[in-house]
Amino acid sequence: MGRRQSWRKVSLIPVVTYFKPAGIRLAELEEVKLLVEEAEAIRLRDLDGLDQEDCAGKMNVSRSTFSRILDSARQKIADALLNGKAIRIEGGNFELAMRRFRCLEGHEWEVPFETMISTPPEFCPRCETPSIMPLLPPGMSWRRGGWGGRYRGGRRW
């Protein structure tokens, strides 16, 4: 039995989560599923230009794990681009790096990843009301079971 996977820290969920080649009907299209943490690895390394050690630190994984995530993402993107497949970004094994909350009085605040793991907020830090709720990051919506928590394989834990 293998080791349990650690949660990957992700700064944001992409607003656009589906890409399709022009000129191919949706019904005829094959898809490649790019995990959210794979998209984050591409963003950090290829778009932001960080070195792998910094990227691994930002995602809360080892350098070798980051390298495996990045290699997997690049292979999937190459497959989609060169073989005319669509790319769907969804699922994975991740925790949002920063959560934003609001209380009923209208106060808003952010809670970092490390704090969310050890002690998630139960009260508003300004008015101390227990009536708080997480705000949705861009590109996410409320669905059955609510929002938040950790995600593995596209499902909330």
pTM exceeds 0.85, yes or no = no
Tell me the pairing of strands 155-156 and 31-34: unpaired
* pLDDT given for residue 136 in this prediction: 62
Mean pLDDT along residues 55-66: 94
pLDDT in tens, 65-96: 999 999 999 999 999 999 999 999 998 888 77
For residue 99 the two structure tokens come to: 């959560």
**H-helix or E-strand containing 101?**
strand 98-103
How far apart are alpha carbons 60 and 78 in whole angstroms?
A: 26
- Of the options 3.10.450, 1.10.3210, 1.10.260, 1.10.10, the CATH number for the domain spanning 8-94: 1.10.10
Of residues 156 and 129, more confidently modeled: 129
Mean pLDDT along residues 20-45: 94
* pLDDT given for residue 135 in this prediction: 78
Q: Which residues contact 106 (CB under 8 A, 6 or more apart)?
A: none
* pLDDT given for residue 3 in this prediction: 67
Q: Label residue 115 by pLDDT band (50, 70, 90).
A: confident
To the nearest whole number, what is the mean pLDDT of the chain?
A: 83
- Is the pLDDT at 58 greater than 80? The verdict is yes
Percent of the chain surpassing pLDDT 90 = 52
CATH 1.10.10 in the chain is located at 8-94
- Is the pLDDT at 112 greater than 90? The verdict is no
**H-helix or E-strand containing 66?**
helix 63-83
Report yes or no: 69 and 34 within 8 Å, Cβ to Cβ: no
* pLDDT given for residue 2 in this prediction: 65
- Is the pLDDT at 37 greater than 90? The verdict is yes
- Is the pLDDT at 137 greater than 60? The verdict is no
